[in-house]
Amino acid sequence: MEQLDLLPIELEGVSQERPLIIAGPCSAETEEQVMTTAKSLSDKGIKIFRAGIWKPRTKPGGFEGIGVEGLSWLKEVKKETGMYVATEVATAKHVYECLKADVDIVWIGARTTANPFAVQEIADALKGVDIPVYVKNPVNPDLELWIGALERINNAGLKRIGAIHRGFSSYDKKIYRNLPQWHIPIELRRRIPNLPIICDPSHIGGKRELIAPLCQQAMDLGFDGLIIESHCNPECAWSDAAQQVTPDILDYILNLLVIRSEHQTTENLNELRRQIDECDNDLMDILAKRMRVCREIGTFKKEHNMTILQTGRYNEILDKRGAQGSLCGMDSDFVKQVFELIHEESVRQQMEIINK
C-alpha cells in the first residue's frame, strides 16, 4: 500500500459528517452570477463554494474562464457569505494568483492530472504552503497516474489532500459524459485508506437528471463527499449548461440522499459475509479445477501440434455463457468480461506448457 503523509481536511464551521459538500458554478462568469449563486447556496447551508476561474476547454473559442478578475468576486463571496472558496489550478501562475487572493482550497483538473510535468509545476509552486488540495482523476482510467499526482503534491509537503472522482472519458459515449468506472476510486480507497475521496456527479453524468442517482451511488459506496455544479440560471451557463442545477434543485437532491452507516456490525450481516466468503472459496476451487483441465488441453495440443487459440470455440463459450448469464439475472456483458479474463489466463497457462 502507498504511504501518503496526510492530515484530515478540517475546516472550521464545516461538519465532519459525511457528505462534505462543495457546490457552485462550473465557471465564474460575472460578478452578479457568482454572488447570486453563492448567496442562494449559502442560504441552503452550503459552506464551500466552487467556481472555475480558468477553464480548460476541449476546443479553442469556448469560454476559457474570466481569469484573475474573477478571484476578486470569490473574495467578495467569502466576505459576504463566510463560505470557503475553491477553484481549479493548472499552472504555477494560477497557484500564485489563488494564494494572493486568499482562495481556501484548490483542485487540479482531470486534464492537468494526466500531465506529470504540469502536476509537478503545481506541486513546486505549492511548496511550503498549507492549503487543502483536491486532485481529480486523470481523464484516462489510469490509477497509477492519479496516485502519482497525489504523491507529487504530498512530496511537496502538503498534507491536507483529497481525491475527486469525476469519471473517465471514453470514445463511445452512452449514458454518461464520463464513465464512472467505480472500481477505480474503490481501488484507490483500498490503496490509500486515509485519503478522503469525493465524487463529482456533474462531470460524470453530464446531464442534470443523472446527478441525484450518481450522488446516491457515491454515498452507498462510502465516498466522503460530493462536488456538484450549481448555477443560478443553469440553462444560460457559459460552460457545462446541461449538467448544472439551481441551488434549489441541489438542496432538494441533497435532502433526498440516504446516508447509510459504513460500520454495520449486526449478526445478520456477519452471517451474510460468511456466506460470501464460502462462495468465493468455491469460486477459487472451481477456477483452479478449470485451469488444471486447461493445462491438460495444452499438453494435448502440444502433442498434436495444434494452435492454442481456437477462435470458433472461444466465441462459442462467450456467447453461450453471456446468454446463460442473462437468464441468471446477470448482465451478459459482465459475464462475457469474466469469461474473457478467464480465457486470457487459460491461454497464458497453455502457452507455458507449449513452450516448455
Instruction: Give the residues lining the site for ligand PEP (CB under 6 A).
Output: 26, 52, 56, 109-110, 136, 166, 203
Q: Which of 81, 240, 246, 346 binds Mn ion (CB under 5 A)?
A: 240
Q: Give the type of residue at 289.
A: K
Task: Give the residue from 240, 159, 166 showing the smallest Cα distance to 200.
Answer: 166
Cβ nearer to Mn ion, comparing 67 with 82 = 67
- DSSP code, position 19: P
- Which residue, 156 or 199, is less far from Mn ion as judged by CB? 199
Residue given cell 463560505 in the structure block: 83
First to last CA, the chain: 35
Shortest Å, Cβ 27 to ligand PEP: 7
Q: Report the residue number, 26 or 218, with the smaller CB distance to ligand PEP.
A: 26
Output the smallest distance, CB 278 to ligand PEP, in A.
Answer: 41
Q: Compare residues 219 and 228 and give the one whose CB is closer to ligand PEP.
A: 228
- The window from 12-20, 115-123, 232-240, 257-265 that contacts Mn ion (CB under 5 A) reads 232-240
CB closest to ligand PEP, residue no: 109
264 burial type by CB count under 10 A (0-12 exposed, 13-18 middle, 19+ buried) = exposed
Q: Is residue 227 near Mn ion by the rule CB under 5 A?
A: no
Q: Give 135's strand partners.
A: 108, 163
φ, ψ for residue 239 (rounded to 5)? Answer: -150, 150
Q: Does 53 bind Mn ion (CB under 5 A)?
A: no
Q: What are phi and psi of 261, to 5 degrees?
A: -70, 145
| Residue 55: CB minimum distance to ligand PEP, A | 6
Comparison of 17 and 117: residue with beta carbon closer to ligand PEP = 117
Nearer to ligand PEP, 206 or 322 (CB): 206
Query: Considering CB distances under 5 to 8 angstroms, the limit depending on partner class, which of Mn ion, ligand PEP, none binds residue 136?
Result: ligand PEP
| DSSP run (H or E) holding 199 | strand 197-199
- CA–CA distances in Å: residue 131 to residues 98, 128, 266, 304, 343: 11, 10, 40, 67, 48
C-alpha cell at 75: 473574495
CA distance 50 to 231: 10
Q: Hey, what long-range contacts does 36-39 have (CB within 8 A, 24 or more apart)?
A: 36/232, 37/230, 37/231, 37/232, 37/247, 38/77, 38/80, 38/81, 38/83, 39/80, 39/81
Least distance in angstroms from the C-beta of 26 to ligand PEP: 5
Strand, helix or coil at 162? strand
Contacted entry of ligand PEP, Mn ion, none for residue 160, CB cut-off 5 to 8 Å set by kind: none
Question: Residue of minimal CB distance from Mn ion?
Answer: 26
Alpha-carbon gap, residue 317 to 315, rounded angstroms: 5
**Least distance in Å: CB of 350 to ligand PEP?**
43
Choose from ligand PEP, Mn ion, none: what does 166 bind? Cβ within 5-8 Å by kind: ligand PEP
Q: Does 26 bind Mn ion (CB under 5 A)?
A: yes
Count of positions on this chain that bind Mn ion (CB under 5 A): 2
Q: Which is nearer to Mn ion, 227 or 294 (CB)?
A: 227
Q: Which is nearer to ligand PEP, 64 or 187 (CB)?
A: 64
Question: Contact positions toward Mn ion, by CB under 5 A?
Answer: 26, 240
